[in-house]
A and B are shown apart, each in its own frame.
Chain A
């Protein structure tokens, strides 16, 4: 008798894989990455390489050491490294960037069980870790060799910044956050190829806009709103960080709730907070709320609508 494979149905599988998804998100980040390197020079590229290498190496060594299956080929560590770099100022010391990478993979991801088990976004967890540990370096933004404030910081102090410039991205900030147009291209790519659910960025940005218009202190000022939308890490956060599958709700209603919480939280931190920025903290706080959100947004099973 010939040997035929036997397994429980279904016998067909879609071709998409975890690695393919991660790779696609990396592709979507390329416009912002390339612009970051163009905007800040080769040092930015070096930071990106440092964080990616430290993330991948940490994952490899940890899994080898723990005698687990090595999973670096799923590209998720590469993605974490890239996202982390895009959230760092280009002037950050390399050892600090590397430490961020180690923290992201070791503490936030692997110690909780590896891929899919972490409760907060590893890249953002690491960014916040660096922010509280090395505030001086993390908030030192220089542009064209001159240390200066980011557009958001200028706005916070009551100043003004050219919206068009903010849209294109030629100004100070973290490596990947400055160019709104590049981030939008990447976000569009993710939405068109159905890699992310539009519910999260849409509700995030919409609720953020509503809050800024109502309580931003500038009244119905669309230029100010545009500056707030393009400034800081909002677009990077809304399209690439908040939509991280692992740390966002799996239910559709939950994603809407999650987006709204994010929007309000970000706006509250920006308007009333001490700093100019609020995206990172808003996202990791919301990450922690995900299990609760999922619990209260369980879908109604088919055929049970209006029934107990």
Chain B
């Protein structure tokens, strides 16, 4: 099997050894759980419970607030304590439903008509309806509602359903554990998606640092003519949507296109597992795998965490921090968000908590020099732009040149900042400029 990849990219320290062989352990939250109404791309969900009401595990507590939006379900049983703004990862307060956990874990029994749960009785519409009902969003990080993604304009034009098992982000092992422990759910989840698209083939793409996972999935799909496994070269950002589509199909999309424009739909491993649970078992999305890792954590773990759990509690569950810890990141080191307050909830897109004893960014500060024009950022850029120039335009507020030199093609992967010997914050500058321009476009109604 050939090894597929894309042009550019980097090889940062992987750090997966810390947690890759640790089986998924359930995490039981205590006290209050917080469910932000906006933990997906699109309109915030609308609460359908009231303060003081008792809710059960799996019960819908907020429903879609628009076409692009997602339902939210309680992940434990308990009482709705408050509906109020609460601090979230991004550092802002977001309207949230707060549930006091009664630790009974009493399950909500959905009202399903006779035979309604049998997959063979499902129509395409049923499947999408079920995925929507269960509140599934892209769990790789973006949080785009899955039912919207699975409803492209022309379903017949979809040729590939790609399951993203690259997990190229360092330290993360949640997808790997899913692949090792319940690969059948992933294959079944993919088969469910294939039912939606008559002309599509399934691809499960995995980086070649997970050879055992590749072998496992291969064994499972040996009698599935419509599904294949593709081995990817281990390189960051191999799991980025554009890099992944290019590596597996040879097709390239730019920032103005959607994967469906080239006949592809990409879903992450956790999302596919959630699709399986939703359609086959009527289980809403109420938990996800979170890797708690880093050299400052005493016992790294892969937890199955109920959504809404407190991130700080999760660190405690992994044995807490060893004394010196400079930085705590929600997510991986490349795309994750640094936390200043651990008292924020796990949401549908939280993939990891990384605790580093040393902050490389701070170390790099004193080593910063002028740009020496070495071109390393150009070599690693998967978007094939010139990051050092774009950062210069961004720092000068030159929007016109920024757009002219394809600044909007940046996928914010962070490779340029990573390799820069002058330790310049290229990604950061480009990112804020992109945000500015996108805000302008929104204002201009474009």
Contacts and interface: CB of A to CB of B under 8 A. Distances in A.
A contacts with B: majority SS: loop
A250 B386 contact: yes
Contact of A299 (B331, B364, B386): B386
A12 B170 contact: yes
A298 B374 contact: no
Interface string A169-194: 00000000000000000000000000
Query: Which one of B254, B427, B431 has the greatest number of beta carbons of chain A within 10 Å?
Result: B254
B255 interface: yes
Interface in B220-274: 242, 246, 252-255, 257
B390 to A, nearest CB: 11
Contacts of B331: 9
A273 B195 CA distance: 74
A14 B336 CA distance: 17
Contact of B425 (A8, A114, A252, A301): A8
B318 interface: no
B interface, by DSSP: helix, strand, loop or mixed?
loop
B405 interface: yes
A290 B418 CA distance: 26
Nearest to B262: A303
A115 B373 CA distance: 10
Contacts of B336: 9, 11
B431 A8 contact: yes
Interface stretch (A17-25, A84-92, A122-130, A274-282): A17-25
Given A303-B253, A303-B255, A11 B359 contact: yes
Candidate in B10, B340, B370, B388 with the most chain A CB atoms within 10 angstroms: B370
Given A5-B338, A250-B378, A302-B409, A74 B369 contact: yes
A9 B414 contact: yes
Interface residues of A, number: 45
A9 B169 CA distance: 12
Interface string A74-117: 10100000000000000000000000000000000000011111
Contact of B418 (A2, A10, A251): A10
Contacts of A4: 325-328, 338-340
A1 interface: yes
Contacts of A74: 369
Complex A-B, nearest 7 residue pairs according to Cβ-Cβ distance, in ascending order: A303-B254, A10-B414, A116-B370, A301-B406, A301-B409, A12-B333, A245-B374
20 contacts: A4-B326, A4-B339, A4-B340, A5-B361, A6-B339, A7-B338, A8-B428, A13-B418, A17-B423, A115-B369, A116-B372, A116-B422, A245-B375, A250-B373, A250-B386, A250-B388, A298-B386, A299-B386, A302-B384, A304-B254
